[in-house]
Amino acid sequence: MRAHPISPVTEPMQYRAIGVVRGQYVPADPSQPTRGLIRTADGTELEAVVLGRLLTLMRRHLDLELPHLWVVYPRSRDENQLHLQMVGVWEPSTLSQAEAGDPALEVSASGAESESEIESESEIASGSKSDTDSAESVSADSGSGSADALAEGDDYFSVRGELIYTRPETGDLVVKVRQQPRADGSRPIPFKLQLRGEVPLEHLRHFVSLDLRRQGQQLCLEACEVVAPLAQRGTRGGKGRRGGGSPAAGSGGERRGSDRRSADADPGRSTAPVRKHGQAVSRPSR
């Protein structure tokens, strides 16, 4: 049984972007509570949206006047501004008591329903029956206070994907994360996360696993594991072919230009019959 909101990695090249943020969720409009912000203890206000059936869980069992540990998917939409998609809440001390007979607790955190999120993260701690069973077990064993805490601490994020940009001197990183195909077979467009930290240039175009900590509106690197290099798409024909084709293209252009000039100088050529292979062509006498 799981006792953690972030499921363990099952494949070496498993993409994901998930984390936890503690704070009070404040809807932008009480009549439309799916959009709002998470106000953290350090005073940061993080733009957030509620996905899946988490909203039902929030209405039935959570006091939104209090801070909670939210399970979120991070996104980078604007520079120096973190956007969060809320898909679950990690609070075994509360959910284990409210579990009995409530269908909202069975699928409450399935963000993949509407956003086609990463498949391995579509069932978060409060979302599936097995997760709530696990939460109840932890709560019974160790008490509500310790059950709600994580070994990694608050504001921890796990990002796994392709390192497509790194600038160690400024501490800028960009990681590309791919998502699982949707139910209809279509493939969501990969998204990019802007992060902070120092990763050497030699790890560019490698698959990396990053442990990060939120600081304000930034996700800052704490640990980096370089998993493997990623194969890159080559240009059509390869380097040698591309290089060898340039002179031919140039000479062909000169030849075509020469033909056009000759045709302009001698209008009779424009009406001359087309020469077929093995046949002679007679020209009109002047």
Residue type, 238: G
- Out of 23-27, 52-56, 169-173, 239-243, pick the least confident: 239-243
Amino acid residing at 5: P
Q: Does 283 reside within a domain?
A: no
Instruction: Identify whether the C-beta of residue 61 lies closer than 8 Å to the C-beta of residue 95.
Output: yes
* Residue at 23 is within a domain: yes
- Amino acid 149 reads A
User: Phi/psi class of residue 261: alpha, beta or left (left: φ > 0; alpha: ψ in -120 to 50)?
Assistant: alpha
Cα(215)–Cα(24) distance, integer angstroms: 17
Q: Would 278 be classed as within a structural domain?
A: no
pLDDT at 97: 59
In this prediction, residues 179-208 reach a mean pLDDT of: 93
pTM of the model: 0.69
Q: 68 in a domain, yes or no?
A: yes
Q: Is the pLDDT confidence value at 185 over 70?
A: yes
Determine the pLDDT at residue 216: 96
Say if 122 falls within a structural domain. yes
- CB atoms < 10 A from the CB of 255, how many? 10
The tally of domains found in the chain comes to: 1
Domain ranges, residue 55: 16-229
Residue 249 lies inside a defined structural domain of this protein: no
User: Does 83 reside within a domain?
Assistant: yes
Tell me, yes or no, whether 4 lies in a domain: no
pLDDT at 213 over 50: yes
Here the tokens at position 163 are 């390192």
